[in-house]
Structure 1
């Protein structure tokens, strides 16, 4: 295949680069920033895509963020590439605070007594693992004589997924709106500066052309 890597990376390297990309997070952030600025679309459309991507990172649909961000951007008539790049807002450095904020907001909105804090991240991770194990075991049970047990998935849905889903809407919209209004003037200024640089370059080329034509005429 054309886009297939020649050097297959081992699993440990893929996991390591997920938490710490080559060149570090600063370089990765600069790459995303550079790509967003160079997108060939009006600033407001790019900003809508950024809003969609940032909002998506506050949802518990891990593994589907690209699909959800692209769908929201398409509905909003935003730039889909910008939406995909903006999902970088959710990364291993921000997942914990995003999760804590979303869960706390969800518990508050739903009137639940439990509160999320950073110390619960371990148990939260165990709930994800237990829910995944439950799903896998029940899929196997569907084709065997083993009895299905949805208890762990039920706990996960009640205590994590649904509060996270409800609670992530408000902070996700707030973060998305902030990023939208910050990105519009920055992208517009960058695009105007780039257009000015291109016009200056074209003007310089036009000035050189008559001189080159005159030189050839004199030589003849």
Structure 2
């Protein structure tokens, strides 16, 4: 029904993922409306979304969607909302998420931060770096997943109660 006359090529589709054609505001509003209108329980929707947020923090870049689908399926929560939750990791937020995760992991392991002048490419492929990233991402991902669970659940309950009131 709402298809383009001339489909986008693969390069333009990838470009729209990195930088949406109509802007990030419209992109997020669209997915916010899709999220709150899912016909399931507020718990299932918000739990799925929080799983997506948790996975977005993980260092397993490229596997976020697959991991969120699998974990949502295992917990029997809404899969679509978990996929939408993975969109919390995007080109604007990844640098902040990754730097925070690595910094927290370094702090936990007592690793000193590298001086910018001495950073080499090999520093990003060691076990120490991965463990710092992994541990920091688990802690921050869990923290933000809890915050988003209650935030999303609250707004879904409000939306659905207002929808029922307006329907009557």
2:74 aligns with 75
Q: Which residue of 2 aligns with 1:195?
A: 164
Instruction: Please list the CA deviations of residues 111-158 of structure 1 after superposition, one character each: whole Å capped at 9, or x if unmatched.
Output: 222259xx79xx7xx95xxxxxxxxxxxxxxxxxxxxxxxx5x95142
Q: Which residue of 2 aligns with 1:130?
A: none
Q: Where does 1:25-174 land on structure 2 (aligned, <5 Å)?
A: 25-114=24-113, 127=121, 156-174=125-143
Residues 21 and 28 in structure 1, CA contact (< 8 A), matched pair in contact too: yes
Give how far 1:172 is off: 0.6
Q: Flag structure 2 segments of 5+ consecutive residues without an equivalent.
A: none
Decide which structure has the larger Cα Rg and report it: 1
TM-score by length of 2: 0.85
Moved over 4 A (4+): none
Partners of 2:45 and 2:152 lie apart in 1 by 8
Q: CA deviation at 1:19?
A: 2.4
SS in structure 1 opposite 2:125? helix
Which runs of 5 or more structure 1 residues have no equivalent in the other structure? 128-151, 201-220
Alpha-carbon separation, structure 2, partners of 1:115 and 1:103: 12
Aligned length: 164
Distance change in 2, residues 1:44/1:115 (3 Å) = farther
Say what the alpha-carbon RMSD is for the aligned residues: 2.6
